[in-house]
Structure 1
Amino acid sequence: MITITGATGALNGRTVDHLLQNVDPSELTVVVRDPARAERFATRGVAVRRGDYADPEGLPSAFEGADRLLLVSSNDQSADAVALHAAAVRAAASAGVGHVLYTSHQGAHEASPFAPARDHAATEALLADSGLPWTALRNGFYAHTLAWMLGPWRETGVVSVPADGPVSWTSREDAAEAAALLLVRDDLPTGPVVLTATDAPRFADLARWVGEAAHREVGVEAVDEDEWVQRAIAAGQPAGAARFTLGIFRAAAGGFFAGTDPALRDLLGREPVTAKGIVQSFARD
């Protein structure tokens, strides 16, 4: 049995969609906080169970019978993500899960300026100490976020950043498909697996590419961190979200998102979607 948490979300929901192309629905279970939102899977014959990392007592029964368990990471910035993940890992061990796959992140490191990367590193350590066979899917930074990471370049003609650095921007759709392919493999890798696009452009490259697609000159400017945060707040972003995003730029400048790996390309059997293609597609819209 393959069990997937967070299946009503964008990432693991698409992973279930990919699995359903090759796996009988009777071999799949989704664990979600609100089963009513998973009706599209239930109508296809997928078992739907309620499970919430914040309600650890119910998790072992939700994970019961899982040969493979895909744990999605918490995206609640206000929550103690590591504590939530720890509850899920304990439940997986209690349920006797055969192998846990966890949606981690490229650059997972205790010293990262990006808070979720520190949470991912701590969660991977929990998995390593759990006694369970485990795989951490270190997905590259999701490229769909570039639509807002580049800021109001259409109005200003400039991409303003508080720091620049290489990032292996990766398609969330590609990451979802890769997870589905791994879940059905006989020989699952153990430990971290880096799943990224094959290039790692800087924001200066992205600005040039959107300019080419929009048939205009788009520059890039370095802005003081405090000024960048104030601009983001003035544009309507909550202060906490602006400072959270600042950590992405700091981590990029520190090289935490710079590495690329052929594993995603090899799994997909094709070249992954590129950041250039993504930014040029929305620049033409």
Structure 2
Amino acid sequence: MIVVTGGSGVLGRGVVERLLDHVPADGIAVSVRDVDAAADLAARGVRVRRGDFAEPATLDAAFEGADQVLVVSVDALGDEARAWHRAAIEAAVAAGARRVLYTSHQGARPDPLFAAAPDHAAAEDVLAATGVPWTSLANGFYAETVPMLLGDAASTGELRLPADGPVAWTTRADLAAATARLLVAGAPDGRTAALTGPEALDMDAVAEIAGEVTGRPIRRVVVEDAEYRSTLVGNGVPGHAADMLVGMFAASRRGDFAPADPTLAGLVGRPATSLREFLGAALSPAR
């Protein structure tokens, strides 16, 4: 049986939907904090179980009978994230899973320039110490981040962001399809190749694409990191979240989120979704 954590979240649910194309529903279980949020999956025959990384005792039942466990990384940072990931990985091993998969990041590395990077690297260290087969999915940076970065650029005509480097923007839908394929067909040991969209683009290119999609030309304006952070905080963004965004740009300048890699396209059996395609669906000329 395949157990997917975060089964009511965007990525976890996407993986389950793709698994249902290939695996009988009763061969899939989801671990969720709120079972009511996955009631529709239960109605389709998926086993829905309560499991909370913050309450490790709940994971014994959530992972019972698992052959494989997909640990979807949490929306948290620092010590909290590391403790929760460790709890989930260790519970999967204790449940007898023959393979543990973890949704890591293309930019995972020990240093904290990008705040989430060391948390993912720490989870990979935990996996490596388990003694059971494991796979770390080196997921590209979510394309879903781009509309947030664009903000009101279509109306102002300016995209004011710090200096950046190329990012291989990748859709969650593609990552879900690739992950399901690995769960069904067999995943490699250790860290995968980067699972990314088809090209790495800097924000100059993003501004050009967004302008073409919306029909409103957008000029890219480079601002200092400190100015960007101040603007974010002034708009109500918490300081820690502003720091994470500033760090994202610094890490991109270092090349942490590039280059693009063809592995994901090979897994999904078609070209990976381009940022232009994604923005064409996410944005409208009215914006």
**Partner SS for 1:48:** strand
**CA 1:78–1:258 in 2, change beyond 3 Å: closer, same or farther?**
closer
**Deviates most, 238-247 or 275-284:** 275-284
The alpha carbon displacement at 1:209 in A equals 1.3
CA apart distance, 1:11: 0.4
Counterparts of 1:122 and 1:106, CA distance in 2: 14
Cα deviation, residue 112, structure 1: 4.6
Using the TM superposition, give the Cα deviation of residue 245 of structure 1 relative to its aligned residue in structure 2, in angstroms. 1.3
Cα deviations across residues 98-148 of structure 1 (Å, max 9, x unaligned)? Answer: 101111111111125111111001100110111121111111111011101
- Structure 1 stretches of 4+ with a deviation exceeding 6 A read none
- Please tell me whether residue 226 in structure 1 is matched to residue 239 in structure 2: no
Say which SS state the counterpart of residue 140 (structure 1) adopts: coil
Structure 1 CA distance for aligned equivalents of residues 63 and 96 of structure 2: 9
In structure 1, the residue matched to 2:151 is 151
The separation in 1 between residues aligned to 2:30 and 2:277, in whole angstroms, is 32
Aligned positions of 1:172-211 closer than 5 A: 172-185=172-185, 187-193=186-192, 194-211=194-211
* Aligned equivalents of 1:204, 1:51: Cα separation in 2: 43
Give the 5 Å matches for 1:1-285: 1-77=1-77, 80-185=80-185, 187-193=186-192, 194-281=194-281, 282-285=283-286
CA–CA distance in 1 between the matches of 2:98 and 2:78?
Answer: 31
Kept in 1, the 8 Å contact 2:165–2:249? The answer is: yes
Measured in 2, the distance between the counterparts of 1:94 and 1:67 equals 12
Task: Name the CA shift for 1:283/1:243 in 2 (closer, same or farther; >3 Å).
Answer: farther
5+ residue gaps in structure 1? none
1:180 Cα deviation from its structure 2 partner:
0.9
Which segments of 5 or more consecutive residues in structure 2 lack a partner in the other structure?
Answer: none
Per-residue deviation, 1:61: 2.8
SS at match of 1:136: strand
- Percent same amino acid at aligned positions? 43
* Cα RMSD (Å): 1.5
User: CA 1:216/1:35 → structure 2, altered by over 3 Å: closer, same or farther?
Assistant: closer
Once the two structures are superposed, residues 127-181 of structure 1 have per-residue CA deviations (whole angstroms, 9 ceiling, x without a partner) of 0111121111111111011101123212321111112100000011110111111
Match of 2:69, SS state, is: strand
The residue type equivalent to 1:206 in the other structure is V
Comparing 223-232 with 199-208, which one deviates more in the overlay? 223-232
Distance 1:259 1:112 in 2: 20
SS for the counterpart of 2:138 is: strand
Deviation at 1:191, TM superposition (A): 0.9
Secondary structure of the 2:148 match is helix
CA contact (8 A) 1:213 1:280 kept: yes
Amino acid at match of 2:229: V
**CA offsets 1:185-207 (integer angstroms, 9 cap, x no match):** 1x320111121012100001111
Q: 1:112 to 1:199 in 2, by over 3 A?
A: farther
Counterpart CA distance in 2 for 1:242 and 1:150 is 15
Secondary structure (helix, strand or coil) at the match of 2:276 reads helix
Residue 217 to residue 47, structure 1, CA distance change in 2 (3 Å): closer
Q: Matches of 2:157 and 2:266 in 1, distance apart?
A: 38
Instruction: Output the TM-score relative to the length of structure 1.
Output: 0.95
**How many Å separate the matches in 2 of 1:213 and 1:264?**
25
Task: Please tell me whether the aligned partners of residues 210 and 283 of structure 1 are also in contact (alpha carbons under 8 angstroms).
Answer: no
Q: Distance in 1 between matches of 2:233 and 2:2?
A: 43
- After TM superposition, give the deviation of residue 77 of structure 1 in Å: 4.1
SS for the counterpart of 2:127 is helix
